[in-house]
Amino acid sequence: MSPALIVALPFLGALLPGLMVRAGRTAAAIACGSATALALLGLLLHVPAIRAGEAIATRIPWMPQIGMNADFRIDGLGLLFGILILGIGLLIILYARFYLSRKDAAGPFFTYLMLFQGAMTGIVLSDNILMMLVFWELTSLSSFLLIGFWKHLPEGRQGARMALTVTGMGGLAMIAGCLILGQVAGSYRLSEIVQQRAAIQGSAWYLPALVLILIGAFTKSAQFPFHFWLPRAMAAPTPVSAYLHSATMVKAGLFLMARLWPALAGTPEWFGIVATVGLVTMLVGAVIALFQDDLKGLLAYSTVSHLGLITMLLGFGTEEAAVAAVFHIIAHATFKAALFMSAGIIDHEAHTRSIARLGGLRTLMPLTFGIVLIASLSMAGIPPFSGFISKELMLENASHATLGGMPRLVGGVATLASLFSVAYSLRMIAHVFLGPVRDDYPAKPHDPGIGLWLGPALLAALVVVIGIAPNLTVGWLVETAAAAITGAHPHPHFALWHGVTPALLMSAAAVVGGAVLLALWRPADGLRLALPRPDAKAIFDSMTDTTQAWAARLTNGVTDGSMSRALALFMLTATACGFAAWHTGRAGPEIRPLLPVSPVAFIGWLMLMVATGTMVAVHRRRILALVLVGIIGLIVSCAFVYLSAPDLALTQITVEVVTVILLLLALNFLPKRTVLDTGNVKRGADAFVASLTGLGVGILAYAIMRRDFAFPSIAGYMLDNSYKLGGGDNVVNVILVDFRGYDTYGEITVLGIAALTIFALTETLLAGRSGTRLRNWVHDMRRAGDRHPLMLVVATRVVLPISLVVGLYIFLRGHNAPGGGFIAGLIVSVALVMQYMASGFAWAQERQNIPYHALIGLGVLCAGITGAGAWFAGKPFLTSAFGYFHLVGVEPFELATAMGFDTGVFLCVVGAVMLALNSLSRIARQAGQKVNVHPMDIQFGGER
C-alpha cells in the first residue's frame, strides 16, 4: 500500500460516521475502526522493507513551482509513529464507542477523531516540509474541535481556545523557520534537508531557523513555558485525552525534533536550548503533577514531565540518547494511554475524578486496579516493566551530560524529577485504590464492561511484555527508528539488569525518595499551598485580555465603523506606499513615445470626465447617479472598442445593461435620495483624499505606459501559445477558460454564492416585521397607468428569439472570436429580463419555470467536471484539449473541452441574474403588487 493511500484512509474514514451514524454508533465506530485497521495493515506490510534499510516513497506533483508536492515517505521513524498513531487509535475508537453517552453526538465525534488521526499520520509520513506544515495546522484545528467537543462546558470551550491559540502561534513561528530551512538547504523535501547538515549549520540563518522551529515544536509538545495549555485540554472527553497524550498531538513536536535531528542537532545552540528546556519541563511537570487532585490533571502534568524527558534526550545530541528517546516514546505511549483510559473508567463508574473523593477502589474495581497498578509502576520506573528500562537509559545519558560547566547538574535534576515521578505514580495507586472503602462515592464504582477495559488491558499487557522481552518485542522498531534519526546503524541491547551502575543507584534513590515524599504528601501539600505560586492560566488570560484591549483600541482608532473613513485611510496608505516605492526604486527612462490623440478619443475622454464629475456632484440623487454610472460604462465600452478590445467591450456593455436594470428594480424599494450626514469639512477632506489617490494612480499609469521593463511580459506567452496550447485564436477567452481557468472557476462560484445570498436575505426580509411593512407599504409617487405597454410587449416577443440566437452565436464563436460563455450568458439574461419587465414576473414564470438555484449548481458542477476531466489524461486541473472533426457535408470544425467549462460559466451567469431578479420580484409581490416592478414604474424626482 502506498504511503499516500495510508495517509488518505483516515480522511476517507472521516466521511463514514456521518453516513452511518443513523445505523447506530456501533456502525460508525466499526466504519472508523475499519479505515484505521486498513491503514495500519498497509503500514505493517512495509515492515520487512523498512527493517532491510529501505524507505517507501510516493511522489505526487502538486505545486512544483513553489516546491510544494504531496510527497510521502515511510522510514523507521515514520513507521514508529505511524504504528503508535494507528494502533492506539484503533483502541481509542473501541473505547470511545462505549465511553460516550447516548446524549453525545457520535457522528461528529468520530469524524473529528478521524480527521485528527489523518492529520497526525500526514505529519509523520510527509516527505515535504511544506506539506507537513499543512497537516501540522490541521492537527491544531481538529484538536480544537475535539477538545471543545462538549460545547456546553465552559472549561471545554476555554481549553479548546487556549490550545488553538498557543499551538497556532507556535505553528506560525514554525512556518517561518521551515521556510528558512528549506531555502538554506535548497529543497523542501525532508529527506534532502536532513542531508544538508553542513550547509544548514554553517549558515547565518541557522540560529533563527532553529529558534523558530523549536518554538513550534515546544508549543505543540507542551514544553515549558508553553506547558499550561495541555492540562486545560483535559476538559475534552477521555478518549480524546488518552489519544492526544499518548500517540498524537503532543508527540508531534517530539517527532519534528527527531525528524530534523540530523540537520539541526550536535551544536551548542541545540544542546543549550533543547536539553535545558526539556530538563526544566521534566522537573516542573513532575512537581506540579504530584499535587493535582484531578486524576486527569495528574496524568496531564505527568505527560508534560515525560515529554520534557524525551526532549532532553533529543537535546543531548548523541546516538545513545536518541535510542533512549525512541524507547521511552514507546514506553510512554503504552502506559499513558492505559492510565488515561483507566481514569476515564473511574470517572465513568464513580462519577468523579477527584482523588480526594476516591480511595478504596481496589476491592470494588479489581480489574481496573490491576491495569492501573501495572501502568503506574511502569510510569514510576519500577522493574520489570518497560518504564524501568527507559528510565535507566535516561539516567545513564543524563549522568554523562554537562550543562553550564557543571557535570552533575543534569543527572541531579533528572534524578530529582524521577523522584517526583515515582511519588505521583505511587499516589495514583495509593490514594485512589488503597485504603478503606468509602460510603460517599457519587456513584457506586464497579468494573465496566469489556468494551471499556479491553483497550487499556491490552496496553498494560504490552507494558509487561516489553519490559520482560524488550529486544524481542520492540528492539527492531527502536533500532530502525533510531537509525532514521541519527543516520547511523545502532544495535542497542536492552535488559532489566546491567549490574550496579550509576544509573541504577540514581534510580534507586528516586524510588526511595519518591516513597518517602508520598508518605509526607499532606505536609508537603500544605507547604505548597502556603507558598506563592504563579498561575499559568491567569497569566495567559491576562496576556490575551491585554492584547485584545490594545487591538480593540488600535482598531477603534483606525476605524469607527465608517466605511468612508476606512477607505480614506486605506487609500492614503496605499498612495504613500506607492510614492515611497517609486522614489526609492529604479525606474528606467521614458522611451515609449506618446500616441496622437484623435478628436473622437478626446471627446470620449471629455464626456467621461463630465459624467464622472456630475455623478460625484449629484450622487445623493440615487436614480440619476445610476443613470450616470450607466453612461460612464457605455463610454468605457466605447474606449475598449477604440483600443481594439472587443471582448472587453462586449462584456462591459452587457454587464452595464444587466446591473443597471437590476439596480433600478432594487431602488424602487429604497429612498430616492441619500441623506446628507456630513459637513463641509468632512466632504472637503474626502475630496482631497480622492483627488490625491486618483492623481497618484494616474501618474503611475502614465509612468508605466511610457517605460519598458527588463522582465518579459506574460502577454507574449499568451499570444504565442493561445492557439498552440488552448486551441483558440481569442486570447482573452483562452486565458479565461484555460490559462487562468481556475480564477474563472472561483469567480463563477463567488457569483453563484452572491446570488444565493441575495435570495437568502430576501427570505429574511419577507419574514417578520419587515414583511408586514412591505405588505402595508403605499407608494407616495404616482405609478404609470399602463404597467405593460403593448409596444414593449410586442418588441420583446420579437427580440427574444433573435437574442437567444445571438447568444448562441456569441457562445459558439467565443473560443476564436470575441464572445464566450460569460458574454452569452449576459445577452440571454438581458433577453429574459426584458420579458419579465414587459409582461411581468408572474406571466413569464408561468411559461418557463426554471429552478435557478439548480442552474447555478449545475454551472459550477459542469465547470468542475470539465476541469477534473483533465486528470484522466494525466494533466493538471482545467487543462484544455481540442481537435478537428470532419462530418459529411460539413466543413472541418474544431471542438475543445473548454466549451464544457464555458457552458458552466454560461449557466452560472444566467442562474445568478435570474435568481436576483426572482428575489426582487418576490419583494414586489410582497409589497402588494400583482406583477413585477419594472423601470417604467419609476419616475425621476420626488422622495419617499
Higher-pLDDT residue of 239 and 919 is 239
The DSSP call for residue 171 is H
- Look at residues 823, 863, 575 and name the one whose alpha carbon lies nearest to residue 738: 863
Overall average pLDDT of the 628-637 stretch? 90
Cα separation, 919 vs 758, in Å, equals 7
The residues pairing with 885 across neighbouring beta strands, listed in sequence order, are 893
- pLDDT at position 944 is 31
Please say if the pLDDT value at position 280 is more than 90: yes
Structure confidence by residue, pLDDT tens digits, 860-901: 999 989 888 888 887 888 888 888 777 777 777 778 888 899
CA dihedral 292, 296, 299, 300 (to 10 degrees): -90
Share of the chain above pLDDT 70, in %: 95
Burial of 527 (C-beta count, 10 Å sphere; 0-12/13-18/19+): exposed
Cα separation, 665 vs 659, in Å, equals 10
Take residue 766 and report the three cell numbers written for it: 419577507
- pLDDT at position 925 is 67
Structure confidence by residue, pLDDT tens digits, 186-209: 899 999 999 999 999 999 999 999
What ranges make up the beta strands (E) of 76-122?
Answer: none
What is the tally of helices (H) and strands (E) in the chain?
A: 42, 4
Show contacts of 670-675: CB within 8 Å, 24+ apart.
Answer: 670/622, 671/622, 671/943, 671/944, 672/621, 672/622, 672/623, 672/941, 672/942, 672/943, 672/944, 673/620, 673/621, 673/622, 673/943, 674/619, 674/620, 674/622, 675/620
Higher-pLDDT residue of 667 and 597 is 597
pLDDT band at 403 (very low <50, low <70, confident <90, very high): confident
Show contacts of 549-555: CB within 8 Å, 24+ apart.
Answer: none
Take residue 74 and report the three cell numbers written for it: 515511510
Cα separation, 430 vs 380, in Å, equals 13
Please say if the pLDDT value at position 442 is more than 80: yes
Take residue 864 and report the three cell numbers written for it: 468542475
Average pLDDT along the chain: 87
Coil, strand or helix at 61: strand
Q: Are strands 890-896 and 882-887 parallel, antiparallel or unpaired?
A: antiparallel
pLDDT band at 943 (very low <50, low <70, confident <90, very high): very low
Share of the chain above pLDDT 90, in %: 43
Please say if the pLDDT value at position 808 is more than 70: yes
> With helix as H, strand as E and coil as C, how does 467-517 read?
HHCHHHHHHHHHHHHHHHHHCCCCCCCCCCCCCCCHHHHHHHHHHHHHHHH
Helices (H), 706-814: 714-726, 731-734, 741-765, 768-775, 790-813
Q: Are 266 and 316 in contact (CB under 8 A)?
A: no
Cα separation, 572 vs 580, in Å, equals 12
Higher-pLDDT residue of 340 and 555 is 340
Overall average pLDDT of the 288-314 stretch? 93
> With helix as H, strand as E and coil as C, how does 134-200 read?
HHHHHHHHHHHHHHCCCCCCHHHHHHHHHHHHHHHHHHHHHHHHHHHHHHHHCCCEHHHHCCCHHHH
Structure confidence by residue, pLDDT tens digits, 725-783: 888 888 888 888 888 888 999 999 998 898 888 888 887 777 767 667 766 666 655 65
What ranges make up the beta strands (E) of 803-926?
Answer: 882-887, 890-896
Single-letter amino acid code for the residue at 450: I
- Look at residues 105, 111, 163 and name the one whose alpha carbon lies nearest to residue 137: 163
Q: Are 304 and 285 in contact (CB under 8 A)?
A: yes
Structure confidence by residue, pLDDT tens digits, 126-157: 999 999 999 999 999 999 999 988 888 888 88
Distance of alpha carbon 933 from the chain centroid: 45
Cα dist from 883 to 259, 295, 351, 813, whole Å: 50, 70, 72, 15
